Structure 1
Amino acid sequence: MMVSQSSGHFATMITQNVIAMMGQWIRFLLLFHLGTILLDAAHIQGTWNPSEQKVAVLTKFGYQQTNVKNEKESRGFLYGHFLPQATFNYSNPVLLAIVSSENINIFRKTSTDYGMSCGSMLRNLTNKGFEPRCFPNGTSDSFRWIPCPDGHLCKGEDNAANVIPGYQMTMQIEERFNPEHWYVLLIACNLDSNCEWKDSAPNVPINYDIWLTNGRPNSAAVSFFTFNFSFDEQNTVQLFLLTVCMYAILSIIQSGANFKNRQIPPRSIILSRIITMKLIGYSLQCFNVLLFAYDGQGFFIARIAGEVLRNTSVQVHCLLLILLAKGWDISYPGTEYPRRTIILWGILAGLDTILFFYNCTFVYDVLHDVDIYSAWPGHGMILIRIVYAIWFLIEIRKLIDSEQNRHKAEFLAHFGAGFLVWFVSLPMIGIVASFVSQLWRFSLILALTTFSNFVALSCLVHQFWPKSSYRKFFADYTNGHRRLGRDDSHEFNDYDNYLFYDQDSDSDADFPDCEDVIRTQI
């Protein structure tokens, strides 16, 4: 009873700390989110004042390659409403532009640095963009004049049949060769009577409500799993659904293992908590992407809570492996906890969590390709993971050197080598991802990290299984006298291990020679 109470108290303590940390970060991110727009959403709503901000970058969206057999239905679309909040002089509009990734470099600066003239900023766009009065030979549908009169189409929509019903404007993107990221910009510029770009900064806020989609709305050819998603995030619904199913199965298996144990070992309790956090976290994120596929915005709280649970479960996973490497619940029962290890882990886990949310909240920039591997907070997270790996390697090496039984030492060597690969998987994935285009990088990182974490947890479930062949290498709680003996003296633990290792041996060397027995008796 002492073992279960102590292990349960330890696991409860970790859970309470996790919940407290989650609550603080979610409250902070919700407050931060109230003052911002959903930059990565397919359905974007907000307000822009041209007199206060010369260039507003609304979002980045990856448009898929157009299907030559079904061009009209497989193009990328941008459609929506742009309405002024007050009386507006429509003869002095401002510009809505959608810019390809090859022409975006000139806009990669802070909003206060747009001191250059409109002609300098829009020079590259003028070469390809179509405008019926000034650029009739343009081939790219990349300009619209905003705002639009209430109840009427936007200026520049010369063919009402091309506008999605119920909206004021529609722009179509055709990618014949490769998918590409496009950027939606609001620019305080317009064209004068000589078709020269000039500044235009009316002091009237403009409300916008726009959609970005891969495929024509209401078309039978579009897919639920790709329609509202940027190309780099397509098929994440299937990935999250599959992951939730896998962790649900793993959770059932682990629950069955706990049910088979008359007394659940502390290592199994922590492992169960990790799997539960993973399952809940991925379920929340799966709910978010399913809702995103439906409404283009998703559920922000579910997304953040899922990220917190996923990140925290990885930290607890690291703790469990380091505790095992120190011999916890292997060389001695799990009722004794190395206090210094817990404190040091708490510091590293706290730093990792801070860097994780700082990277997501402050470092993210629509114009720049930022992920966990390309910003300094991400580099800090990778460094912490490397520290975990070195720590684990040192502890498992000490444990192997102190182990006198050859079979157990071999098991520990394989155990250490296998999970060391998991520790270094994050930096390894980063190296591989750095050579991959941004259009495929997100899906690659998500798939590889999800797979590596699942495999690592599955291996622990197998090794902790009550009837596994590896059971003899861990502390045993199957009956009272063994548990009591281990609490009183490590010699009983060594004796039990000796019985485990020699109980199946049939060699003659395991029995004394008859002549030696007779000689001893004489």
Structure 2
Amino acid sequence: MTAYIISVLGDELIFIRQRSSLHSLVTFFVFTALLIEPIAGLNVNGVWSPSNDGFAIIGRFGFGKADIHRKTDSYGYIFGNITSASHPLDTQRKASLVLLSRDTFLRLYGPESDQSVNHSSLCGSFVAEIDKYAYDAKCKGDNDRDILRYAPCKKGGLCEGGFASSNPLVSGYQFTFVIQDQRQPTFWYLLLIACVRDGGNASSCEWRNTSKDNSVISYDIWFVNGNPVTASSNIFTYQFSYEQQDTILYLVMIFLYAILTTMQLYAFIRQKRRNLLVYLFTTSLSMHCLAFFFITLHKLVFAGDGVGYATLAVIADVIKIISMGFFILFVLIIAKGWPVTRSQVTAKPLLIVSWVVYIVIEIFLYIWAKRSQDVIMEIDEYHTIPGWFSLGFRIILMIWFLFELRATMMLEQDQEKLRFYLHFGAGIMVWFVHLPIVAIIGLQISLMWRYKLILGFSFGANFLAYAVVTHFMWPTRKSNRFLTHFVDSDYSEELDYYEETQCESLGRLTPNDNLNGINGRVNHFAYDNQLHHIK
């Protein structure tokens, strides 16, 4: 595979082709993917022992609002198998499988609680709260919530507890929880706790601590939105938590990016003169389109099996970060005035080092954000510590962009080029600042809608930025001539020399000559501007 790196020879930027193996690139992406623990999909499986951890959160899932016209098809379902890993026929109660609504869970183990759930308190206040609602045929027959099962379950049989005998069952699974009649979308939490009621004595309804039990429990559980029997009728929502139901958005975006990338590649082929900017932008857009293709593929497979390609999704995110790095390098080079105003890029080493540092930091922050996400805290990746660092870094880059653009516009005298800088700078500044603004607004919105809001604005802004630049660089546009043809002459040195000489002249003036000196400077500057336009 051929990779392009930027090198400086004299006063010109050229491309040097450096051979690198495909194996090295694949190794980089796979290594990055392995650093990130894939977020558990809707098909959650694993093992757990009461002695290792007396309290475990199996999963958090957002269930949508129930539709009164098709109730059973719009309910949320949690179903699966949970057995003893070493003794499949063992039915002695070792733990409790508990389903809690968001409000109940946060009251027991949220930011406002003492979060002191440990082995000694599990059968105290924590379970006492659950005991107020959970139905149990022997002990709590008056309760009406089906939120409790005892584990492990006998292989091939149903789990004890709750409405196990009357609940609609999903064929082939040992338990089913149904989330029904929700008035609005909300999260539900599924927990395993090392505390059970004694099942052998009907007169005893006391909870017993099992945190010293060394048994290993194996579970395989599904979380779905909609009736498993009619899953094919809602393929874009069935496997996804409510806040993650964005497959249609990804399909729309990959369609738009496919059209835009095809147009840019067509323009790339038509262009007779291709400089660094053309290669940078085409590479950035193509990589961005490829990232959307990968993540959309993951979403479609996930919609079918509830697992998808987690590694491919991580690779897609890394590709997107790199593509954004190319785009930022592209806009910074234009802000520096090359090739519209200057015949060469100033401070090339700083620019290249900053670009590499940006990509490395963004990948590091991405890995940090993914690994620090907690199902207990209702925050998304943008509102984590690494997320805020990333947004702050984006603001710094915007300030740098505006500083470079201002310096270039002060140097430029051509009105047509100045108009181009104004339009380009305004658009890119909006692109830089939109994400921090939306992230701040998102703090006031429920997580159920926040992720979709940020995603929608981010996707839309990125696409518009690429579309506008594609328009600027279209071969028949006058702006394309600015961006692909080198400026004939660079007046920066002349203006610097002019400013130095004027300062020296003003320094030699006597107090009585100050006014005449200033008038003379203004006249000379006007004369120099006339010479510039003649040139």
| Contact residue 101 and residue 181 of structure 1 kept, 8 A | yes
Report the Cα distance in structure 1 between the residues aligned to 2:477 and 2:101, rounded to whole angstroms: 56
Which string of whole-angstrom CA distances, capped at 9 and with x for unpartnered residues, describes residues 165-218 of structure 1? 111111111143111101111111112453233312321111101111111112
1:313 pairs, out of 312, 323, 326, with 323
Superposition deviation, residue 441 in structure 1: 1.1
1:154 aligned partner: 159
- Structure 1 residues 372, 312: CA separation in 2 closer, same or farther (over 3 Å shift)? same
Correspondence list, 1:136-215, <5 A: 136-156=141-161, 158-159=164-165, 162-192=168-198, 193-201=203-211, 202-215=213-226
- Specify whether residues 334 and 138 from structure 1 end up closer, same or farther in structure 2 by C-alpha distance, changes over 3 A only: farther
Please state whether the residue corresponding to 1:331 is helix, strand or coil. Answer: coil
1:51 is aligned to 51
Matched, 1:238 2:231: no
> Aligned equivalents of 2:397 and 2:21: distance in 1?
20
The residue that corresponds to 1:508 in the other structure is none
TM (norm. structure 2) is: 0.82
> How many angstroms apart in 1 are the aligned matches of 2:398 and 2:332?
9
* In structure 1, distance between residues paired with 2:116 and 2:467: 48
Cross-structure match for 1:458: 467
Note the aligned Cα RMSD (angstroms): 2.9
Query: Partner of 2:267: helix, strand, or coil?
Result: helix
Task: Return the match for 1:431 from 432, 440, 447.
Answer: 440
User: Which residue does the alignment assign to 2:109?
Assistant: 107
Counterparts of 2:437 and 2:27, CA distance in 1? 32
| Deviations 1:308-358 (CA, angstroms, capped at 9, x unpaired) | 111221122111111110012222357888222111222233222211111
1:401-420 → structure 2 map (5 Å cutoff) = 401-420=410-429
Number of the residue aligned with 1:385: 394
- Which amino acid is 1:254 matched to? Q
Residue-pair matches, total: 474
Alignment partner, residue 93 of structure 1? 94
- Provide the C-alpha distance between the structure 2 equivalents of 1:137 and 1:18, rounded to a whole number of angstroms: 65
Q: 1:136 to 1:18 in 2, by over 3 A?
A: farther
Question: Per-residue displacement from partner, 1:25-63 (whole Å, max 9, x unpaired)?
Answer: 531432654xxxx54411111111111110111111001
Q: Which residue of 1 aligns with 2:507?
A: none
Contact 2:44–2:221 under 8 Å retained in 1: yes
Counterpart code for 1:373 = Y
Instruction: Give the counterpart of 2:290 among 271, 276, 280.
Output: 280
2:84–2:90 contact (8 Å) kept in structure 1:
no
Change over 3 Å in CA distance of 1:219–1:471 after alignment to 2 = closer
* CA distances 1:428-486 after superposition (whole Å, capped 9, x unpaired): 1102211211101111111111110110011111111111132343341xxxxxx6x94
Deviation at 1:145, TM superposition (A): 0.8
1:127 maps to what in 2? Answer: 132
- Listed as ranges, the gaps of 5+ residues in structure 2 are 1-5, 495-535
After TM superposition, the structure 1 = structure 2 runs for residues 210-221 of structure 1, keeping only pairs within 5 Å, are: 210-219=221-230
Structure 1: tracts of 5 or more residues without a match: 477-482, 495-522
Question: 1:32 and 1:277, CA in 2 relative to 1: closer, same or farther beyond 3 A?
Answer: closer
Distance 1:19 1:383 in 2: 34
Aligned pair partner of 2:430 in 410, 421, 438: 421
Compared with structure 1, are the counterparts of its residues 17 and 375 closer, same or farther at alpha carbon in structure 2 (3 Å cutoff)? farther
- Tell me the secondary structure at the aligned position of residue 97 of structure 1: strand
Partners in 2 of 1:265 and 1:308 — Cα distance?
Answer: 26
Q: 2:75 maps to what in 1? A: 75
SS of equivalent residue, structure 1 residue 397: helix
Identity within the alignment, %: 27
Cα contact 1:372–1:379 (8 A) shared by 2: no
Aligned to 2:497: none
Match of 2:236 among 225, 229, 251: 225
Task: Work out the CA distance in 1 between the residues paired with 2:95 and 2:144.
Answer: 21
Query: How far does the alpha carbon of each residue in 1:126-162 deviate from its partner, in whole angstroms, 9 at most, with x for none?
Result: 2222122222122221111111111111112542662
Asked if the contact 1:94/1:145 (under 8 Å) is kept, the reply is yes
Confirm or deny that 1:366 pairs with 2:375.
Answer: yes
Q: Secondary structure at the match of 1:414?
A: helix
Mapping of 1:255-404 within 5 angstroms?
255-333=265-343, 338-361=348-371, 363-404=372-413
Indicate how the Cα distance of structure 1 residues 39 and 356 shifts in structure 2: closer, same or farther if over 3 A, else same. closer
